[in-house]
């Protein structure tokens, strides 16, 4: 079997690994970039030793034992709990919004009243999607949910997506939980961490097998020859030369700066919903607790994706975009041995653990399934 994987991101790497080790077949993996690891690519700054996440901050978190066990064969982990902040009305406060945030924003008497009301209404340790809380008619709860919406959510969403939150699919907006607890951790998954030597090294180890050949600076557009199986982790509209139109994406612009002081901010990430044009500032040294008398930060500016100008980052979850994707998929399903997978191939926002989980499922059900039925 001649196998080619288009895209050496996490999806492509895990798939190449399974083809090489489980099927014991040879596989060529290509990427149009000059690096492996796709959007989880990171690199060590030679001066400070700080590992910089080039395409936005990446924190690994999962409840999936199988995914964790698989990746742990290729990396050790730095035990990192993500506790970001947001800058709201002149104060740095904890997010996701929790009871500590209430005390940071309001006078203690008011905060206590709100805390008691929320616990009575939802129970301690509950995690309530903001949109659900906004429907609650109680005066105090309505006050707090509208405050969160106005000062922490609305403008951030407008900056991030370029349109009003109401226009976006709830699968995106419901991701904002309100915590009725004092847990400042952004993720509550059983397993959390950052690869001790970086994501790129982890991907390099996943790809390190004699059956795997890597070719960088290689766009599929310019690849010739016959392949029995094409696994495409790029965008499906590009594969079909945009014959039905372009799938929209949101892009990002990164302003990376070296700062001549030990720390810039308290946390790895601070969100700025209402101030400045950037959405957040990431300070990379926090991820692995790297010691240096300098620091490196990245300011993140959301942008519209423009073909051949910037990168695709977030698929835009709207019904008409899904319809366009489905139209392309119908076309793809007619071609034997052609598969679309991964963040771009599936036109879906996928966390890293979901991307790996998807490859496991795809490999079991489609690839091994097809071999059994052949
Ligand atoms: C800003 C941001 C922050 C994130 N933070 C987190 C986080 O904290 N935790 C988490 O779990 N997940 C996070 N994610 C999600 C994570 O980035 C994805 O799960 C992961 O990158 C998916 O990997 P992938 O291989 O499917 O896609 P990608 O990493 O995009 O890889 C696709 C690869 O295909 C290549 N390619 C495309 N077309 C072609 C072509 N025609 N020819 C050759 N090569 C091609 C591309 O160059 C790219 O390298 C974040 C995502 C973003 C955008």
Q: Count other C-beta atoms under 10 Å from residue 214's C-beta.
A: 19
The span from the CA of 368 to the CA of 192, in Å, is: 30
What's the 207 CA to ligand 1 centre distance in angstroms? Answer: 16
The span from the CA of 25 to the CA of 23, in Å, is: 5
Q: Count other C-beta atoms under 10 Å from residue 149's C-beta.
A: 17
The span from the CA of 205 to the CA of 193, in Å, is: 17
Q: Which residue has the tokens 């904890």?
A: 94
State if residue 233 touches ligand 1 by the CB under 6 angstroms criterion: yes
State if residue 342 touches ligand 1 by the CB under 6 angstroms criterion: yes
Would the pLDDT of 173 be above 60?
Answer: no
Would the pLDDT of 47 be above 80?
Answer: yes
What's the 325 CA to ligand 1 centre distance in angstroms? Answer: 18
Give the per-residue pLDDT at 369. Answer: 79
Confidence of residue 175 (pLDDT cuts 50, 70, 90): low
Give the per-residue pLDDT at 171. Answer: 54
Measured by CA distance, the residue closest to atom 34 of ligand 1 is 7
Backbone phi and psi for residue 279, each to the nearest 5 degrees, phi listed first: -90, -35
**Which H or E run contains 304?**
strand 295-304
Give the per-residue pLDDT at 33. Answer: 98
State if residue 11 touches ligand 1 by the CB under 6 angstroms criterion: yes
Query: How far, CA to CA in Å, does 346 sit from each of 265, 339, 343, 362?
Result: 36, 10, 6, 12
What's the 39 CA to ligand 1 centre distance in angstroms? Answer: 4
The span from the CA of 227 to the CA of 2, in Å, is: 5
Would the pLDDT of 170 be above 60?
Answer: no
Q: What is the reported pTM?
A: 0.95
The span from the CA of 373 to the CA of 239, in Å, is: 28
Q: Count other C-beta atoms under 10 Å from residue 47's C-beta.
A: 10
The span from the CA of 240 to the CA of 307, in Å, is: 15
Within 76-191, where are the H helices? 99-105, 108-122, 130-134, 139-148, 155-161, 170-173
Of the candidates 174, 187, 185, the one whose C-alpha atom is nearest the C-alpha of residue 352 is: 187
What's the 359 CA to ligand 1 centre distance in angstroms? Answer: 14
What's the 72 CA to ligand 1 centre distance in angstroms? Answer: 20
What's the 240 CA to ligand 1 centre distance in angstroms? Answer: 20
The residue among 318 and 219 whose pLDDT is bigger is 219
Measured by CA distance, the residue closest to atom 10 of ligand 1 is 351
- Residues 181, 186, 187: CA angle, nearest 5 degrees: 100
Give the per-residue pLDDT at 271. Answer: 98
Tell me the best of 7, 71, 81, 223 to mutate to test the pocket of ligand 1, counting ligand atoms within 8 Å of each CB and taking the most: 7
Tell me the best of 4, 5, 8, 9 to mutate to test the pocket of ligand 1, counting ligand atoms within 8 Å of each CB and taking the most: 9
Local structure of residue 286 (DSSP, 8 states): G
The residue among 333 and 164 whose pLDDT is bigger is 333
Confidence of residue 162 (pLDDT cuts 50, 70, 90): confident
State if residue 351 touches ligand 1 by the CB under 6 angstroms criterion: yes
Would the pLDDT of 259 be above 60?
Answer: yes
Question: CA quadruple 335, 336, 338, 339: dihedral positive or negative?
Answer: positive
The span from the CA of 258 to the CA of 253, in Å, is: 17
Measured by CA distance, the residue closest to atom 3 of ligand 1 is 56
Cis-peptide into 96, omega within 30 deg: yes
Mean pLDDT score of the chain:
95
Give the per-residue pLDDT at 36. Answer: 98
Q: pLDDT tens across 86-138, in order?
A: 999 999 999 999 999 999 999 999 999 999 999 999 999 999 998 889 889 99
pLDDT average, residue stretch 133-151: 93
State if residue 203 touches ligand 1 by the CB under 6 angstroms criterion: no
Q: pLDDT tens across 200-242, in order?
A: 999 999 999 999 999 999 999 999 999 999 999 999 999 999 9
Give the per-residue pLDDT at 318. Answer: 87
pLDDT average, residue stretch 176-204: 95
State if residue 56 touches ligand 1 by the CB under 6 angstroms criterion: yes
The span from the CA of 117 to the CA of 132, in Å, is: 16
The span from the CA of 269 to the CA of 282, in Å, is: 4
Q: Which domains does the chain have, with CATH numbers?
A: 3-79+192-248+314-373 (3.40.50.720), 85-179 (no CATH)
State if residue 355 touches ligand 1 by the CB under 6 angstroms criterion: yes
Q: Which atom of ligand 1 is nearest to the CA of 252?
A: 1
Question: CA quadruple 153, 156, 161, 166: dihedral positive or negative?
Answer: positive
Confidence of residue 374 (pLDDT cuts 50, 70, 90): low
Burial 313-352 (b: 16+ CB within 10 A, else e): bbbbbeeebbebbeebeeebeeeeeebbbbbbbbbbebbb
Of the candidates 78, 92, 82, the one whose C-alpha atom is nearest the C-alpha of residue 59 is: 82
What's the 6 CA to ligand 1 centre distance in angstroms? Answer: 12
């Amino acid at each position: 079997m001649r196998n080619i994987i288009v895209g050496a991101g996490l999806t492509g790497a895990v798939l190449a690994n399974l083809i090489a080790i489980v099927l014991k077949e040879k596989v060529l993996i290509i990427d149009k970039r000059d690096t492996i690891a796709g959007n989880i690519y990171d690199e060590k700054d030679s001066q400070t030793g700080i590992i910089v996440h080039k395409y936005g901050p990446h924190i690994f978190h999962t409840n999936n034992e199988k995914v964790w066990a698989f990746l742990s064969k290729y990396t050790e982990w730095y035990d990192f709990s993500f506790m970001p902040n947001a800058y709201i009305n002149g104060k740095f406060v904890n997010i996701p919004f929790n009871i500590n945030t209430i005390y940071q924003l309001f006078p203690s008497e008011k905060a206590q009243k709100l805390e008691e009301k929320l616990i009575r209404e939802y129970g301690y340790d509950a995690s309530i999607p903001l949109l659900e809380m906004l429907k609650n008619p109680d005066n105090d709860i309505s006050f707090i949910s509208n405050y969160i919406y106005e000062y922490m959510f609305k403008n951030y969403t407008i900056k991030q997506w370029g349109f009003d939150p109401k226009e976006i699919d709830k699968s995106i907006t419901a991701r904002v939980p309100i915590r009725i607890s004092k847990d400042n951790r952004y993720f509550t998954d059983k397993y959390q961490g950052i690869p001790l030597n970086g994501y790129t090294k982890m991907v390099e180890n996943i790809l390190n097998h004699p059956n795997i050949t890597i070719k960088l600076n290689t766009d599929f557009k310019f690849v010739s020859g016959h392949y029995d199986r094409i696994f495409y982790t790029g965008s499906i509209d590009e594969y079909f030369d945009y014959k039905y139109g372009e799938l929209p994406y949101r892009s990002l612009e990164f302003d990376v700066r070296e700062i001549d002081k030990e720390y810039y901010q308290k946390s790895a990430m601070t969100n700025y919903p209402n101030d400045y044009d950037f959405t957040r500032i990431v300070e990379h040294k926090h991820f692995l607790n790297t010691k240096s008398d300098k620091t490196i930060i990245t300011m993140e500016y959301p942008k519209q994706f423009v073909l051949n100008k910037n990168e695709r980052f977030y698929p835009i979850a709207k019904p008409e975009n899904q319809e366009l994707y489905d139209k392309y998929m119908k076309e793809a399903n007619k071609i034997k041995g052609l598969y679309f997978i991964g963040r771009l191939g599936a036109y879906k926002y996928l966390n890293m653990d979901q991307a790996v989980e998807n490859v496991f499922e795809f490999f079991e059900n489609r690839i091994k399934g097809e071999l059994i039925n052949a």
